[in-house]
Amino acid sequence: MPSPFVTLDLETTGLDSGSDAIIEIGCVRFDGDEVVDRWSKLINPRRKLSFFITSLTGITDRDLAGKPSIDDVLPDLRRFIGASPLVAQSAGFDLGFLRAAGLYLNNEVYDTFELASILLPNRSSYSLGALASEFGIELAQAHRATDDAEATGQLFNALARQAARLPLATLIEINRLAANSNWGLRSFFRDAEKEATRTVFLKTYERKALESGDLGPLLNPLAQRRGQFPEELVPVANPEPLDVDGLAGFLEMDGPLAQVFPGYEHREPQIEMLRAVADAFNNGDHVLIEAGTGTGKSLAYLLPAMAWALQNRRRVVVSTNTINLQDQLFTKDLPDIEQVFAALRSGDASVPAGDTSLYRLAEQADGFQVALMKGRSNYLCPRRLDTMRSRDDLNEDELKMLARVLVWLTQTTTGDRVELSLPTGRDRAIWGRLATEVGGCSAERCENSQGGRCFFYRNRRAAEGAHLIVVNHALLLADVAVGGRALPEYEHLIVDEAHHLEDAITQQLSFTASQPDLERLLDDIYPEGGQGERGVLYDLRKRLVKGGLSATVRQGLDRHISATQQKVELARDRLGLFFMVLHGFIGDNHGGQNSQYGVRVRLDRKMRAQPAWEQVEIGWDKIGPTLYELGEAMNTLRKGLDELDQSGVPDLEELLSDLGSLATQVMENYMHIHAAIVQPEDNGIYWAELDRDGRRLSIHDAPLHVGPLVEQHLFHAKENVIMTSATL
């Protein structure tokens, strides 16, 4: 690690370097862990301080009266820093203010905020105070420049030690990715690798696996175990009814729950709800239960659901609207019930004499299996990670995100994004390119190509042995949309927060298209002008060259790829014209509906009867058939490649999957936009939106009535459905 180095911190009158001013500069010179020098100055900003800044820093107008100007201070600051590497917390903020004041520094810069977000990938806060607390660093007076600078130096040293403790394979991979970049932290991770190699050596087979692109050496060993799944649940032929009175005794004032949790509040409405839920299981009924806040709904339905699943080996799915409630059920409510059953097994809790059903249930609960399932986009896709790792044109945001993910991979066993901090929109956008995608994979292919390391399918496989599965409405409805392929088979469903179900169905079945979205889709197929070594057609052509195919076959495929590229370019050219015409129409016909939230215009029969609508249809007639032909060309290319002997073409199966997924997206966009512009469906509602600035135009559709969908796919399809909420 660099030594010596100088840490820098500023206090300012506000956050805008263009209009605010520096009021204090603090620098501390470190040689390793030792502080060897300090430098600080108060600066007169030639303006009054706000009450907030004085409260935050403790600096007053009187403190700054008669102090030097920033111009007087900067030469001394430059001399103190010299050529030393600079360390700062959120370095861009400090350097931005210095540049605005006229000081441009070319020193090597290390940002502890950026470093911490990589090395501690699952923290909720990366503030200096939070990080100092985590590492036991004393922050004598927060928001005073010298104290903050000294704490930043100690934090940097702590992070350097943290980095050197990373698995050597992780450091090697980060440095491989950053080798040809100008990333500011490149030298930091090179130094960390050198430090790590003093005590750790990479086994030969691990190094070879890493060099071949294998993800294995980078994963938490617990995430690589195979065959560690519970036995698949097979329902009993003749279900045994629940003992409703026995279950109700669980919640009585002197029941086992109150014995284990002395603060438990006995509630009659909770017991009434439990009885209603248990009866619904026994009778195979569909039930709607409205229970106000404070009833204790979750225990009232979880206990009978758990009992039914254990007694009869019949899986129960519990769906919530929010992931927060989903996590609460999984991490608090169900463990609380299991704790009570454990107390019954050990004798630390009891039930009235003669009531044996709860004791029997407690014994069965020793083998209780529960699974938490979320939608695909919540899980890291190893295959898509491999694809990004293989690129040689990564930008700095992608490098930072990949480094964070690689560190996280040494810790996670689930691959669930809830464990990973994604603080910025750029981070979340990159995650979207790393997450599992619908249509982009299958259980069999991921099992073969990723060696059972796919987090989504591992979770799906574990759920097949679960008595109870906790999902959110989005995944519940996604399972309906794909014909039951997202969740293991089930006949019993509990829907909590059921008043959100209609909106969730509408959202799940809604569609949105915009010019930027479509341009990104076309770029994923073939970037504009063929720029950069990316796009599925570029990857396909590169793989075919390496595949050992005959010249005749390769030339034929190359012609087809070139023709598909031309269709992409044609679609891109015509896309802008269509959205420009539609933008003009919406701008002229929104009827003054614009607000601070933008403009929304219903695309109904009346709107389509406007004379100017003809120009919109003409614009669509130019781009629509082109999109359709592009989708057809991609599907034809995929089918032709599928018939080849793929043995010599590297990763062709993965590329075919990507090609098929992108072709599906092209065709879906075509069908939805065609319906909105030309051929609306009877049960559809269509509209266009302009954002508040009047720049971004999007086309939307949604089902008009969702009741028949609920009836067909839930009430008619399942043995019993229980819906509950505070308001129904």
Neighbouring C-beta atoms of residue 609, cutoff 10 Å: 8
Structure tokens at 87: 């360390």
CB 151 within 8 A of CB 132: yes
Calpha distance 366→294 (Å, rounded)? 29
Q: Which residues pair with 110 in a beta bridge?
A: 87
Would you call 649 helix, strand, or coil by DSSP?
coil
Residue 231 structure tokens: 């036995």
Q: The tokens 């209780």 sit on which residue? A: 368
Query: Which contacts (CB < 8 Å, 24+ apart) does range 599-604 have?
Result: 599/689, 599/690, 599/694, 600/687, 600/688, 600/689, 601/687, 601/688, 601/689, 602/685, 602/686, 602/687, 603/676, 603/677, 603/680, 603/686, 603/687, 603/688, 603/699, 604/686
3-state secondary structure of 527: coil
Tell me the backbone φ, ψ of residue 494, rounded to 5 degrees.
Answer: -120, 125
Decide if 143 is catalytic.
yes
CA 66, 72, 78, 79 torsion-angle sign: negative
DSSP code string of 354-402: T--HHHHHHHHGGG--EEE---GGGBB-HHHHHHHHT-S---HHHHHHH
Rama region for 467: left / alpha / beta (φ>0; ψ in -120 to 50; rest): alpha
Marked catalytic residue, from 143, 583, 672, 700: 143
- What is the 3-class SS of 175-239, one letter each residue? HHHHCCCCCCCHHHHHHHHHHHCCCCCCCHHHHHHHHCCCCHHHCCHHHHCCCCCCCCCCCCCCC
Between CA 336 and CA 309 the distance in angstroms is: 17
Please report which helix (H) or strand (E) contains residue 1, including its range: none
- Residue 543: partners with Cβ closer than 8 Å, 6 or more residues away: 649, 650, 651, 652, 655
Q: How far apart are CA 595 and CA 275, in angstroms?
A: 50
SS3 257: helix
Rg (CA), the chain: 31
Q: Which of 396, 458, 467 is nearest to 426 (CA)?
A: 396
Token duo for residue 258: 């109150």
Instruction: Tell me if residue 441 falls in helix, strand or coil.
Output: coil
Residues 6+ apart with CB under 8 A from 555: none
CA distance 654 to 657: 5
Distance between CA atoms of residues 306 and 318, nearest Å: 11
The catalytic site residues sit at 143
